[in-house]
C-alpha cells in the first residue's frame, strides 16, 4: 500500500509516518519510484507498536529507537533487550552529592540487603531511587521507613509475576515483543491503578473522594 493508505489504516498522519521513517522507528518501505514506496501489514503493526511506546508508555523517540533496535536484532539475548527497555523506561534524575544523598544511598543499600535483592549498582531503578530519596530528604520530608517497605513489597510482587510471565523457554521472537510491552505498558498501568486505588482509599479512610471530577466527562458507555 502507499503511504496515504498506511496513514488511513493506521490512524497515524502522513507527517508523523515520515517523521518515524526519518528517526528510524519505522523501517523504510519497498522503493517503487523516486518518490514512492510500498508498505505492508508489518508497517501497520509496527506503527501501533511505535505509538504504544511513545503515547502510552511515555517514552522519548530516542528511548523507543533503542528498544526497537534491540527488538529487531536477532542476536541480542532477551535479558539484554529487557535491560535496554528498563533503561528507557526508568528516568534517572541528575546526581547531586551532599549529605542527603549519602543518607539516601545508605537507605537504598540497606533496603537491598534487607530484601535480599540481587540488583547491580548500575540498575537504573537503583540509581533513580537514591536521587528520589535524596530529593525528598532535602525537602525535609520522605517516606516513613514502613512506607518504603510497603512500596518495595508491592514492586517485588509485581516484578516476580512479570518475570515469570516472560516464559524463558519459548522462542525469542514469540516472547521479546510481549516482554517489552509488559515492561513498558505494565509501568503505565501500575501508575494508573495506583491513582484509582488512591481515590478509593481516600474515600474510605478520609471519608472524601479525591477531587477528580475536573477530568472531561465520560460518555455513558462506561469508559
Greatest C-alpha distance within the chain: 67
Which lies closer to its own copies via its Cβ, residue 35 or residue 120? 120
Closest to its own copies by CB, 22 or 140 = 140
Tracing cell 520522605 back to the chain, one arrives at 142
For 209, phi then psi, to 5°, come to: -75, 160
Q: Which long-range contacts (CB under 8 A, 24 or more apart) does 166-170 make?
A: 166/78, 166/82, 168/78
11 vs 24 by CB, closer to its own copies: 11
Residue closer to its own copies by CB (options 35, 217) is: 217
Three cell numbers written together for 197? 486505588
Give the nearer residue to its own copies in terms of CB position, either 29 or 187. 187
H helices of the chain, in order, are 3-10, 14-22, 41-51, 61-72, 78-89, 99-115, 124-138, 145-166, 172-205
Positive or negative: CA dihedral 82, 90, 18, 48: positive
**Shortest gap between Cβ of 207 and its own copies (angstroms)?**
8
* CB of 32 vs its own copies, minimal distance in Å: 28
Minimum CB distance to its own copies, residue 31 (Å):
28
- Contacts of 152-155 spanning 24+ positions with Cβ under 8 A: 152/111, 152/115
* Grid cell digits, residue 212: 477528580
Min separation Cβ 20 and its own copies, Å: 16
The least CB distance from residue 62 to its own copies, in Å, is: 14
User: CB-wise, 32 or 62, nearer to its own copies?
Assistant: 62
Residue 67 beta carbon to its own copies: minimum distance, rounded to whole angstroms:
13
Amino acid at each position: 500500500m502507499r503511504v496515504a493508505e498506511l496513514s488511513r489504516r493506521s490512524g497515524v498522519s502522513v507527517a508523523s509516518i515520515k517523521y518515524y521513517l526519518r528517526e528510524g522507528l519505522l523501517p523504510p518501505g519497498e522503493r517503487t519510484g523516486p518518490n514512492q514506496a510500498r508498505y505492508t501489514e508489518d508497517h501497520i503493526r509496527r506503527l501501533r507498536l511505535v505509538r504504544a511506546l511513545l503515547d502510552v508508555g511515555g517514552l522519548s523517540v530516542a528511548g523507543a529507537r533503542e528498544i526497537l533496535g534491540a527488538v529487531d536484532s536477532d542476536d541480542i539475548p532477551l535479558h539484554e533487550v529487557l535491560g535496554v527497555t528498563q533503561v528507557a523506561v526508568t528516568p534517572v534524575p541528575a546526581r547531586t552529592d551532599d549529605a542527603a544523598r549519602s543518607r539516601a544511598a545508605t537507605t537504598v543499600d540497606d533496603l537491598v540487603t534487607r530484601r535480599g535483592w540481587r540488583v547491580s549498582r548500575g540498575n537504573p531503578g537503583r540509581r533513580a531511587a537514591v536521587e528520589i530519596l535524596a530529593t525528598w530528604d532535602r525537602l525535609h520530608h520522605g517516606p516513613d521507613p514502613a512506607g518504603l517497605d510497603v512500596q518495595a513489597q508491592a514492586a517485588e510482587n509485581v516484578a516476580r509475576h512479570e518475570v515469570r510471565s516472560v516464559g524463558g523457554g519459548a522462542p525469542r521472537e514469540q516472547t521479546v515483543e510481549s516482554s517489552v510491552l509488559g515492561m513498558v505498558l505494565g509501568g503505565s498501568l501500575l501508575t494508573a491503578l495506583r491513582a484509582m486505588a488512591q481515590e478509593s482509599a481516600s474515600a474510605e479512610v478520609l471519608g472524601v473522594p479525591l477531587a477528580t471530577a475536573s477530568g472531561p466527562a465520560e460518555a455513558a458507555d462506561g469508559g
